[in-house]
Chains A and B, each alone.
Chain A
Amino acid sequence: MLPKRVKSIIVLSLIGSVTVMIVAYTSPSLSKEWTMKMKYALSVAAAAVLAIGWTGCGSDSNDSKSVKSITFAPLALSANDTEKQQMRVSSKMTVTYSDDSTEEYPLAYKTLAKMGDTIGSGTMGLMVDKNGNPLKKSDGSNDISDGPDGNSFIKVGGKYRLITHLEERPGQLMNTEINVENNELVPVETAPVDLAAVGGTIINCASSKTPYGSHLGGEEDYSLNTRYADKNSPFYVDCALDGSSTDVGGEFNYFCNYVDQQAKYLLDTNIDKNNGYNGDSFSPYNYGYIVEVQPQADGTTKSAKHYVTGKYTPELATMMPDQKTVYMSDDGTFKGLWKFVSDSKISGFEANWSGTLYAAKVNQTSAANGGAFDVSWIELGHSSDNDLKTMIESKMKLTDIFEIAAPGDGNSCDTGFKYIAEDSAGECLKLKTGMETAAAFLETRKYAAYKDATIEFRKEEGMTYDKDRNVLYISMSAVEKSMEDNYKGMEAVNDIHLPKESCGAVYELTLDENYSGTKMEAIVVGKTLADTDANAAEWYCDPEGISNPDNITYIGHNTVLISEDTTKHVNNMSWAYNTQTKTMTRVASLPIGAEVTGVDVATAGSKGMIFLNAQHPFKDNPKNRAGDKPNTALIENATQEQLKAFIGYIDGMPSKLFN
């Protein structure tokens, strides 16, 4: 924690210097009015310093009144190069109560940890194998992740724990114990979550919390599509399996990389290419699911991989208040939208979920403003985690479930085969007799497409539930490619045929009383700037709106936080969208080149916080409308310290807002 403390001192001393300079300027030669202004400014500065120190101020006096609304002070666009390099957040939150009284809470961003920090006996981001040993290279070096992602701040046994995703291959989750000292969060111990029992994990992306206090995260597995793993598939890739991430011809291949990396974690040297790349413990069928982790009072974790939510490229899952219905998103091109309904209420951590899996089928009713759709659900199958785990352990391969062939001209397939498009490719499939359940859960996207579900979503990212309106918000990072009209002539169904909007959109899924989605409609749409727009010289998407929405979090009080993962804005931002007034307020602006990840609303005692990480700062180089990179100089001059990803939170809100 030394780095954070040092940073605080720097901030304070900077304020100190400024104060001294203002005093120096308040000389007799200045007009009285100017002197007054300065005095006022000074008192404001002093108040601000005090407020920053005492974030708990004014927390209890209004407990009897209900909160009518919350607003963030709008954060201005970065005005200069200095601001573009900084982590900037809204200066205050104003809470308006039922009697129209208001209260203000100064806000500040606090860094909790940087990747590579030593925390207790652990190292934040240190990658390990299934035995917990560091994944060392042959030079003896340790591997430190720079990809912090989903966060869940959870209280258990009187202690606070932060579960943090590392978006890596192999994947990993960190379990960090956090104390509250002097009203600040102080990480005291960190360790990787032991996921050896479920065969490890991969590319852990966004996450959410269940109503009963566990962490639900997605394995955003892009490339362990089994069409590459089966020798009888025309898409088969013949990997070298020597740790080099290449095929036997020496060419880099994503699928081979994933296999090599997972094998390294599992210490599996016995992967059989003749049997669908199943090894002693590795199977391509073991990744692409929702992982649940629940921290325990003794510092250990309970964990499960919920196979029954289906295999695809899940960004995350969101559990509905009935604790039966769970929605999952699917990142990439030609992807689906998924719903799982548990057989019974999930009231606490359960390793073996059982229930029914559905895929969305949409009927486009409007193409305007990001589009609108009627939504129905195609039932794929019923199973349980345990049954599916047994199936995976039996070392299945794709052609045990489907026969697969490459499509001919005009998406033609041989008799008995059906043309589908999924995961950026067209395939001819023929379901094998009696393999419906295996298809539904292990080949979820293929099977859903086979049953004419809508597999046309593009970069479907965050999801969050709004309990006040009973709707689910879904961010679609970009409305393009498979969401356009019969993209590249590849689409089998063409349910979605929208005009391209590369800046993305956030959709609202209307839910019925059973939490089942019935309609979907864009509520916020990014805007690609016109070439002639004054902002186009520096921005690609309108800076007054969203660009490539990704993390999305309902924080209550009619407020959705929409966060970006974009190179089309100079700084990635987080926005507060008011679901009543339909207005957007800029809340955070990240250092240039960084993506917003790990947005999580949390409380600790009287503290209310919004967790928010900066992934890969100073690494992405934002582009303008013409595709040029006008801020290159800022990236070129980045310091080593600026390049470190960090985990942190917006501090200063009262916990009562989020309880």
Chain B
Amino acid sequence: MQAVWAQIDGIGKIVTTNVAYTVRLLLMVYVSIRATFFNQSQGLRTVFSVVSSQIYFTGWQAMPLITVLALASGGIVILQSAANLNLVGGAQMLGHILVAIVVRELGPLLTALVVVARSGTAVASEVGNMRANHEIEALESMGINPLSYIVFPRILGGVVSVVCLSIYFVLISLLGGFIITKLIHDMPFNFYVDSLARAVAFEDVWLFLLKNSFSGMIIFVVSCYQGLSVKKSPTEVPVVTTQAVVKSIIYVIVFNLSVTILFYLHQLSKMGVI
């Protein structure tokens, strides 16, 4: 019986730790937004210069990798879907399957993973090193709030980058993937576009934007938070960077999964199943 209680205690501890961590993250987001909008000294120009460089590093520089990934995953999904649907005579369902897999799930998730790997690590180690080198304290001593100068622009730049990258991923995946498939499999372009157009609904756009904007926010909030958690030593930087990656991935996956579940429950309730 004691072992069971110990297990329950363990689970409770994990839950409370994660809830406390999430509350701290939300608090940091609130304080950084508040600091940005209540700061009389910091002009929009300062924020936008950091936002634009963040978009350049996170969005623009990730495009080659996203292109390769989108072409490969799009090609595979289209090829497999078309081949299997043809076998069972359901080729007209191709659009629905592509929207369900690429637009709703693969696009947001793979883009988020690429951004975690490239930019989440960069931001966590950059902010961590700034902390270790007293750069954050230096900003404070100059009367510059690190939350409005460092954190907020990175979150905003990250959200914009992830949304744009994800749109780019979906476009390349669906169009580029089709071209690759065309080399192997004979499929009329008109049929393909028509099938996709019929499958995309207004809800898909909301789902897509919701998943991507929040994924972007999660990645950069977690990375900044982990970076700022460095106390003094540069040896802490690799540790917090690893934690930033692990926590970002977990939070993004849990968030995407929750949204997907809610979306399908909503669909089922609309159909009158539940």
Is the A/B pair a real complex?
A: no
